[in-house]
Structure 1
Amino acid sequence: MHYGYIGQGNLGANCACCLLRGGMQVTVTDLNKGACQKALDAGATWADSPAALAAEVDHVITCLPSPAVSEIVADQMLPAMKEGAHWIEMSTLGRDEVLGFADKAAKHGVRLMELPVTGGVHLAAQGKITMLAGGDKDMFDLHLPALQAMGDKVFHMGPLGSASIIKVITNMLAFIHLKACGESLMLAKRGGLDLAQAWHAIKASSGTSFVHETEGALVLNGSYDIAFNVDLALKDLGFAMEFGREFGVPLELAAATEQTYVAARAAYGGEAQSPMIVKLLEDMLGTDLRADGFPAKLV
């Protein structure tokens, strides 16, 4: 199978390399050719544009930073894709955007499968990220070897739009957990506990979470660097709040967390790392949350 992969950011570059390790042929492109270097070094070929890429591959995967960028790329690649080809969209999109892109693709004889992922860039590098597919089952079955090359936990969530809902739910939970993690660590620090011991004790308790064990460690290091920024978090929380209104579900914790991210963007900018919502609390109380022996990045 020859895949085209458009978007070689933190996630896309790692996933493209996983496809290459899985024996697939991969062609890549990005606005920044330098971002493709990791995949090119691993054996990918380069295309000068989305249209050039789409014309030479069997199927196209996109992993892009916003729906607006996905729209621009779609307008370039869809007319060039082979009839009957598939577009696998890994960007985090709203359900309505997914359905809209599927309609756009169908006009060019192309079918869409949504494939948001969760788990973090460090797991993507290991081929261990969780993949959430939505779309026709025959497409899922056809691309399953590629999905299994990129992730070790692969779920077919149902028809188009299903994966976008569960992806927003998982991200919403992660942001809420991060806010709770920061408050908990601050309680430990202000209570006079050794922060490293407190982190390990929480990890071994019923109160642990994936976020505590990963992002919490980077807070204690002081890097906060999970390769996911405040603007992206606000985008995903916006999707969650929209679903809450549509489905009639009050999302009190998500709403409070969204406001914390709004404050973090005002304080540090939208490009600041997502865990810097904890730094808001540190700055407000004049108390840092640092401990020795914690990594600057997740590996």
Structure 2
Amino acid sequence: MNKRPAYAFIGLGHLGGNLAGCLLRHGFEITVYDRDPDAVARLVSLGATGAASAADAASRAGNAITCLPSPKVSEAVLAGPGGLLEGLPQGGTWIEMSTNGRDEMIRLAGIAAAKEISVLECPVTGGVHLAAKGQITALVGGDAALLQTHRPAIDAMCARAFHMGPLGSAAVIKVITNMLAFIHLVAAGEALMLARRGGLDLAQAYHAIAASSGTSFVHETESQLVLNGSYDIGFTMDLALKDLGFAAAMGNEFGAPLELATHVEEIFERGKAAYGGDAWSTQIVKLLEDATGTDLRAAGFPAKLEA
């Protein structure tokens, strides 16, 4: 008999849908809800149970996992009409896998604690393609004993999990990792443009950089989508700006000057103005392409990263 905890999973977008799928593949019982009925239907076809609301899903499962686009949405799903707090029983757990600021995470956890709901923050890093394979990394904040209770589910979704400390600590490191990723993305675009304008073969330049001291995870992954021309990373300009805004706020709060991150945030604001907030974050490199009239296409690179 399977005695592992059951979970409601709320938020079945590019990232959440893959994380929920990992739980199903590992035999977890999950009940799903999303505003997009097609997203729910995809998970139901894989063995999940559909629900009419977040509250309905939470009441059936007793614990809940969320993966949502913003603190505002997280608060609405947690405490709004039809939200998790209407369905979770006392003693249940809410695992928040969205990216939030530290203060937002602590505040939301306080709302849940007032209803005797335990909370773990568990944002993930590594990209949608790694989430699809259960190879993404979890950054966890909260009580160590509570983490152990839910460790099987986290391990089903993630290849590695780092317990960063109390609630709020995972929010800080997640914002740091995303800040670095956006800085690396802008730098990788400039490097590829320099190679292209310098007359190099772009495919060979990509591989040379990947084998050099100048490589990065972002270059090795997202640069491929730039070279293909799809830019399809499954992560938008709006989400990038949200995370860069969190970094700026933390820099001010902690007294840590973030000159480079501030400049990159300004570049992303230009990218949003040019291509829209729903454009893929990798299209930030297109600003350089458009400004120079020079594309960064090369043969042999995928339209999407391999899942």
Please confirm whether the aligned pair reaches a TM-score higher than 0.5, indicating the same fold: yes
How far did 1:38 drift? 2.6
8 Å CA contact 2:7, 2:58 repeated in 1: no
How far off is 1:40 after superposition?
A: 1.2
Aligned to 1:237: 244
Match of 1:185 in 2: 192
* Range with bigger deviation, 225-234 or 52-61: 52-61
State the distance in 2 between where 1:266 and 1:10 align: 23
Q: Considering only aligned residues, what root-mean-square deviation do their CA atoms show, in Å? A: 0.7
Is 2:255 the counterpart of 1:248? yes
SS at match of 1:234: helix
| Map of 1:51 onto structure 2 | 55
Question: Which shows bigger deviation, 195-204 or 27-36?
Answer: 27-36
Deviation, 1:273, is: 0.5
Quick one: distance in 1 between partners of 2:95 and 2:223?
32
Q: How many residues align?
A: 299
1:116/1:132 contact within 8 Å kept: yes
One-letter amino acid of the counterpart of residue 260, structure 1: I
1:24 is the counterpart of 2:28: yes
CA distance in 2, matches of 1:77, 1:235: 24
Q: Shift of residue 164 of structure 1?
A: 0.1
Q: What residue number does 2:45 align with?
A: 41
Q: 2:23 is paired with a residue of what secondary structure? A: helix
Match of 2:232?
Answer: 225
Who is 1:146 aligned against?
153
Q: Which amino acid aligns with 1:4?
A: A
Deviation at 1:188, TM superposition (A): 0.3
Superposed, 1:1-299 pairs within 5 Å as: 1-75=5-79, 76-299=83-306
Instruction: Note the alpha carbon deviations across 1:142-198, whole angstroms, 9 max, x for none.
Output: 111111100101111110000000000000000000000000000000000000000
One-letter amino acid matched to 2:250:
F
Tell me, yes or no, if the aligned pair for 1:17 and 1:38 is still in contact at 8 Å: no
1:214-254 C-alpha deviation (Å, 9 max, x unpaired): 00000000011100000000000000011111111111110
**Partners of 1:155 and 1:228 in 2: CA distance:** 23
Distance of 1:68 and 1:246 partners within structure 2: 21
Q: In 2, are the aligned partners of 1:79 and 1:108 still within 8 Å (CA)?
A: no
Structure 2 length-normalised TM:
0.96
Residue aligned with 2:218, SS: helix
* Equivalent-residue separation in structure 2 for 1:47 and 1:79 (angstroms): 14
Counterpart amino acid of 1:84?
A: G
**What amino acid is the match of 1:124?**
A
Aligned partner letter, 1:47: A
Q: For 1:148 and 1:134, locate their aligned partners in 2 and report how far apart those are by CA, in whole Å.
A: 15
Where do 4+ consecutive residues of structure 1 move more than 2 Å? none
SS in 1 for 2:31: strand
More displaced stretch, 230-239 vs 57-66: 57-66
Gap regions ≥5 residues in structure 1: none
Equivalent-residue separation in structure 1 for 2:144 and 2:161 (angstroms): 13
Aligned equivalents of 1:294, 1:87: Cα separation in 2: 40
> TM (normalized to structure 1)?
0.99
Percent identity between the aligned chains?
61
Q: How many Å separate the matches in 1 of 2:87 and 2:22?
A: 25
For structure 2, the 5+ residue unaligned runs are: none
Q: 1:2-45: CA deviations, max 9, x gaps? A: 11000110111101110111121010001111112332121100
